[in-house]
Amino acid sequence: MDDRYLWDKTGPVDADVERLERELGRFRHERRPLSLPARRRIFPRAVLAAAAVVLAAAGVAWVALAGARPRWRVESLQGTAIAGDAAGNVARALPAGQGVETDGVSRVKLRMGRVAEISVGPNSRLRLLPSRAVEQRLALDRGTIAAKISAPPRFFIIQTSSAFAVDLGCAYTLSVDEAGNGLLRVETGWVSFERDARESIVPAGAACATRPGKGPGTPYYEDAAPEFREALERLDLGTGGEAALATVLSGARKRDGLTLWHLLARTDGGNRERVYERLEQLVPPPPGVTREAILRGDARGLERWRWELEGMPLLPREGSFGSYWRKLWFRLAGA
């Protein structure tokens, strides 16, 4: 049998092979060029992000031009409290430059839309200061207030004679006596207690005192041992020395890393080294944060270590896409 046809189709064709080819030919694959779907054009993420920021900024500008300004209103008066230039129990707007004042038995509640509520206790005076559309400032001259804030960080600032309570999204109480001594206690969220270059970040469950001429002290958790708190107060007042520092370091728990972290910036020399060593035992620094950097006061290293502490906030960067939308929402919710 001549089978050359089976190999290279050069020999004679066998009838059976020819018939088999015809039968199978209908199943032959026809080679075609590969067809791909049309390519979709995808805009770079940076372009989309920039467009979103522009739209958000335009929204903020539109609200500002439309006159949607946040407003404080007196929601309720109890007793003989005075709101603005008159007493009475009628809900009404309270413009900047005016305030509320209570006697020994009266109370006042202020509200700004859906974003803020401030209860003013007896024997208190709270004033509304000139403010910007996305930053509200008040002054607590004396007494006690309880604030509940649902707004982007740093939109509400309440000043006392010795410190500024800068809201980071929280609920807190703030008290000031006639001498100007104050106490901040945070229930939820965080508050930044500030004066000049001195800052104390106070999370939920913590407190921080402030004194005229000294500014905010070192924050502490309120469940800390009494001797720990007493020694910390002596340190803040400058009357404790190394003995008070030793008490604080020996009595510190892991969550008291909050206090030790703040002390790193408020001590120097050998005392800073002692604080560093104790904090390192309780809350090890993250990779890349070195002893040398912390001891020389490296701000970036301190910030990264702060994120390792219990209850400390990770705040959005100012100017980020999210911050624009939060500002827009604040303007609408507080109007």
Residue with tokens 């970040």: 201
Q: What does pLDDT average to over the chain?
A: 82
The pair of three-digit structure tokens given for residue 93, joined into one six-digit string: 């707007």
Here the contacts of 86-90 (C-beta below 8 Å, separation 24 or greater) are none
Domain co-membership, 252 together with 197: no
Q: Are residues 213 and 76 in the same domain?
A: yes
Residue 44 contacts by C-beta under 8 Å, 6 or more apart in sequence?
none
Check residue 80 and give its pLDDT.
79
Whether 10 is covered by a domain: the verdict is no
Q: Are residues 203 and 240 in the same domain?
A: no
Residue 20 has pLDDT above 80, yes or no: no
Band (5; pLDDT cuts 50, 70, 90) = low
Q: In terms of Cα–Cα distance, which of 85, 215, 111 is closest to 160?
A: 215
Q: Are residues 144 and 252 in the same domain?
A: no
Our measurement of the distance from residue 282's CA atom to the centroid of its chain's CA atoms, rounded to an integer in Å, reads 24
Give the separation between CA 260 and CA 278, rounded to whole angstroms: 8
Same domain, 252 and 204: no
Domain identity same for 180 and 234: no
Q: Is residue 306 part of a domain?
A: yes
Domain endpoint, select from 183, 217, 251:
217
Q: Which of 190, 144, 153 is nearest to 171 (CA)?
A: 190
User: Any residues with CB less than 8 A from the CB of 211 and at least 6 apart, and which?
Assistant: 162, 180, 181, 182, 217, 236, 237
Does 141 reside within a domain? yes
Establish if 21 belongs to a structural domain. no
pLDDT for 328 equals: 47
Q: Does 147 lie in the same domain as 95?
A: yes
pLDDT tens sequence across 93-133: 888 889 999 999 999 999 998 899 999 999 999 999 998 87
Q: Is residue 37 part of a domain?
A: no
* Percentage, residues of the chain above pLDDT 70: 73
Residues 295 and 288: beta-carbon distance below 8 Å: no
pLDDT in tens, 269-315: 999 999 999 999 999 999 999 999 999 999 999 999 999 998 886 65
**Residue 24 belongs to a domain:** no
Q: Please report the sign of the dihedral spanned by the C-alpha atoms of residue 66, residue 112, residue 212, residue 172.
A: negative
- For residue 320, being part of any structural domain is answered with no
Among 1, 25, 21, 5, smallest CA distance to 13 is for 5
Strand (E) or helix (H) holding 6: helix 4-8
| Conformation bin of residue 121: beta by default, left when phi > 0, alpha when psi is -120 to 50 | beta
CATH number, residue 177: 2.60.120.1440
Give how many domains the chain has, as a whole number.
2
The DSSP letter of residue 157 is E
Pairwise CA distance, residues 234 & 220, whole Å? 13
The verdict on 129 and 185 lying in the same domain is yes
Q: What is the pLDDT of residue 329?
A: 44
Clarify whether residues 208 and 230 are in a common domain: no
149 pLDDT higher than 60 = yes
| Cβ(148)–Cβ(164) below 8 Å | no
Residue type, 22: R
Task: Say whether both 248 and 184 belong to one domain.
Answer: no
Alpha-carbon gap, residue 266 to 147, rounded angstroms? 29
Q: pLDDT at residue 251 above 90? A: yes
Q: Which of 188, 217, 246 is the last residue of a domain?
A: 217
pLDDT at 159 over 80: yes
Q: State residue 8's pLDDT score.
A: 62
Residue 39, in any domain of the structure: no
Residue 207 structural domain: 70-217
Give the amino acid at 312. M
Domain closes at, from 161, 189, 217: 217
pLDDT, tens digit, 9 for 90 and up, residues 23-77: 766 666 666 665 555 555 544 555 555 655 555 555 444 444 434 466 899 887 8
pLDDT at 134: 77
255 and 205 in a common domain: no
Q: pLDDT tens digits for 168-216?
A: 889 999 999 999 999 999 999 999 999 998 999 999 999 999 999 999 9
pLDDT value of position 95 = 83
Using the Cα atoms of residue 280, residue 281, residue 284 and residue 288 in order, give the sign of their dihedral.
positive
Q: Give the chain's radius of gyration (CA, Å).
A: 34
Same domain flag for 153 and 276: no
- Rounded Cα distance, 151 and 146, in Å: 16
- The yes-or-no verdict on residue 9 having pLDDT over 90 is no
**Nearest of 217, 208, 256 to residue 236 by alpha carbon:** 217
Please say if the pLDDT value at position 321 is more than 60.
no
